[in-house]
Amino acid sequence: MDVDFEHYDRLPKGAVAFGRYVILGFLGTGASSVVYLCRDLHERGRKIALKVLRKESAYDPHMVRRFRNEINASYRITHPNVVRALQLYTNSKCEAYAMEYVDGQSLGEYIASSPTLLIKETCALLEQICSGTQAIHGAGLVHRDLKPDNILVSRAANLKICDFNTALSFSRTQEAHEIGEIGTLEYMSPEVITTGRADPRSDIYAIGVMGYQMLTGKIPYKANSEEQHVKLKIRGRLKSPSLLRKDCPRDLGQLILRACSSDPNKRFFTAREMQIALQRLDLNKRPGFLERLAEKASSLR
C-alpha cells in the first residue's frame, strides 16, 4: 500500500512510495529535505535514493522552486562524475524525486577521515571534480554551491557531484542574488560575495578551495568572524600549499593558488583547463594508486 506522506515525518521501513519505491532505510537530512534509500520495483529491485521535500518546506514557494530546480538541472547532465536524476514526483501532499544511489560517503566525511590527504590522492580527486564540473558547465549551468558536502565518494572512489538546487543556466547567472541563496561562504568566490553574480569561474574557485583544504587540512582565510573572512578573501593574499606542506610540489601549489585567485580573470578559464593542468603534473601514474584509493574509500564505511 502506498505511503501517506501527509501523516509521516519520516517514512517507515517497508512502506511503498509512489507505487514503486520500497523504503529500505534513512540516508540523511538537510535543511529542507529528507533522503531515503529505496528499492525500485520497476527496475529489478535496484537501489535508488529518494529525496523528499519536508512538509514544512512544501508550503514555501521559494523552497519548492529550489527543489524543482535541482532535478531540472540534473536532468540536463549525463556524466560519471555527476549524480543522475531519474524522476520527479509531485502531488498535493509532497514533492519528491528519485536519483542515482551512491554507496559511500560525502567528500566532507572522506576529508575528515585524514588530517591531510596524499598528494596523488588529492590530485586524483580534483581531476574527477573538474571532469564533473566541466560536464555541468557544458550543459549550460553553473553549480554555485560546490563543496565537499555536495560531492559523494563511492566505495570504488568515484566522485559524484550532487545538490543542484542553487544551479542556474548561463542566461541567468549574471542576475544579482542574495548571498544566502547561492552557496556556502567558505567556498564562495569574491565576486559572488561582492556582486551576487556567478559564472563558471566561480565554480573553479570552489574547486581551488577544496584542493587547498585537502592539501593543508585548512580552509583558506579562516577567520574569527564572517566579516573578517570576507575581507581576507577579497584581499586575496593566500600562502601556497607548498609553503605549508613540504611534500607538496611547487607547481601544484601554484595551480591551487591560480584556481583560488581573487581575480576571476586570473583563474583557469574552464574546469577542463584545470583538469589538464593537474594531469600534466604527472602525479597519478604510479601503478596501483587508484586501487589503494578505492580500498581506503571502502574501508571508511
Domain architecture of the chain: domains with CATH? 5-100 (3.30.200.20), 104-299 (1.10.510.10)
Q: Is the pLDDT of residue 14 over 80?
A: yes
Provide φ and ψ at 73, rounded to 5°: -65, -45
Kindly calculate the radius of gyration of the chain based on its CA atoms and give it in whole angstroms. 20
The Cα–Cα gap between 122 and 107 comes to: 11
Q: Is the pLDDT of residue 239 over 50?
A: yes
Smallest Cα–Cα separation from 203: which of 138, 250, 159?
Answer: 138
Q: Which of 60, 103, 145, 247 is catalytic?
A: 145
Mean pLDDT of the 21-42 span: 91
Cα angle for residues 176, 182, 188 (degrees, 5° grid): 100
Catalytic, 263? Answer no
Q: What's the farthest any 2 CA atoms get from each other in the chain?
A: 61
pLDDT tens string 144-159: 999 999 999 998 889 9
pLDDT of residue 179: 45
Residues 6+ apart with CB under 8 A from 48: 21, 38, 39, 40, 86, 98, 99, 100, 101
pLDDT of residue 284: 46
In whole numbers, what is the pLDDT of the chain averaged over residues? 87
pLDDT of residue 292: 53
Cell numbers for 298: 571502502
The Cα–Cα gap between 37 and 10 comes to: 12
| Reported confidence tier of residue 110, pLDDT bands at 50, 70, 90 | very high
Mean pLDDT of the 167-172 span: 76
Mean pLDDT of the 7-25 span: 88
pLDDT tens string 42-98: 988 899 999 998 877 777 888 888 888 888 888 889 999 999 999 989 877 788 999
pLDDT of residue 63: 84
Q: Is the pLDDT of residue 281 over 50?
A: yes
pLDDT of residue 285: 47
Q: Is the pLDDT of residue 203 over 80?
A: yes
pLDDT of residue 38: 97
Q: What is the pTM of this model?
A: 0.87
